[in-house]
Amino acid sequence: MNESGDAVGYAGTWVSESETKLGVVAIGYGDGYPRHAPSGTPVLINGVECPLAGRVSMDMLTVDLRNCPNVEVGYDCVLWGAGLPVEWIAEKAGTISYELLCAARV
């Protein structure tokens, strides 16, 4: 649980406005996810849209789980695909879908 005012990610660019449950997804820019994807970029956790919180790290990203309060370890995570078009992620990251698909290593 992240307390109000706690910072997350490189340079603490995302700051919690209230007590917030966060999750860590074991993928990052080293795996081809766009390093420049901003906070708020959607990720689907067990079919529920949850926003990125903070900057994408080399091997992980952090997700705000307020939309998915009963989440458990092992839930499905979709970065793009069914229910979350790669074009949406590309737009958020200021790029094109082709670049994301060519960079992906997963």
- The answer on pLDDT for 6 being more than 90 is no
pLDDT (tens digit per residue) in 51-64: 999 999 999 999 99
HSE-CB at 68 with a 13 A cutoff on CA atoms is 21
| Local confidence band at 9 (pLDDT 50, 70, 90 cut-offs) | confident
Burial of 83 (0-12, 13-18, 19+ CB in 10 A): exposed
Over the stretch 61-99, which tens digit does the pLDDT of each residue have?
999 999 998 999 999 999 999 999 999 999 999 999 999
pTM, entire model: 0.90
Query: Domain 7-103, what fold?
Result: Lyase, Ornithine Decarboxylase; Chain A, domain 1 (2.40.37)
